[in-house]
Amino acid sequence: MANEAVASQRARGIAIRSWDVAFLVLAVATLAGIAALGVGSYRAAHDLEQLKRNAEHVVARLEAIAATRGTAAADPAACARHAPGATPAGWSACLSAIRSEPDIAAFANGFVAGNQAFGKACSTEDPAARGTIVFEKGTEWFSAGTTGTSFAPVADEEAIDRELVLRVRVCGRWGEPVTVREVRF
């Protein structure tokens, strides 16, 4: 009876050949690969957005500190502007004070567990830079009637006794920089 069914299918041209099976396997494998890529892309985008939210929280804290830097109520004290003639605080002391605040100290690197949450600069060649928050100091320039601001990583010994233009960036999945915001500090 089974032979009659096969013979009937062959007579009608419905026989399933090995190429048909191979095509179906290839189609299923392709769809599974596309689904895996979609899930991976979604996770990377979610992690980047979480990292950007963390950086926005740091920017909000920098703005709050900037509002009180010139007063006696400056908090943290390491970020206060000092009186003329006094030794100004350095950026590394201020950043350490900010990083030690409980809500910011809880930040973790979203891309690579075990990597630092804050870094010096974004680099596609340095795997330790992925998923970090970085700060860049802006230097305003004027040339031939054109003005602009160029940015470079903030040096640890950078004096913070005057207003700084800071650009806050996050380093994405492959170490590429993603600008979050600029803040006057």
Q: What's the pLDDT score for residue 24?
A: 92
Please state which of the ranges 28-32, 49-53, 65-69 shows the lowest mean pLDDT.
Answer: 65-69
For residue 161, the number of C-alpha atoms closer than 13 Å in the C-beta half-sphere is 10
Between 133 and 75, the more confident residue is 133
Angle (CA) 34 129 117, round 5°: 100
Distance CA 22, CA 19 (A): 5
30 band by pLDDT with thresholds 50, 70 and 90: very high
Give the other-Cβ count within 10 Å of 173's Cβ: 19
Q: What's the pLDDT score for residue 25?
A: 94
Nearest to 77 by CA among 49, 63, 59, 97: 97
What value does the mean pLDDT take over residues 10-36? 85
Q: What is the domain extent for residue 165?
A: 2-184
pLDDT(6) > 90: no
What value does the mean pLDDT take over residues 52-62? 89
The count of domains in the chain is 1
Between 26 and 86, the more confident residue is 26
pLDDT(51) > 80: yes
Q: Does the predicted model carry a pTM greater than 0.75?
A: no
168 band by pLDDT with thresholds 50, 70 and 90: very high
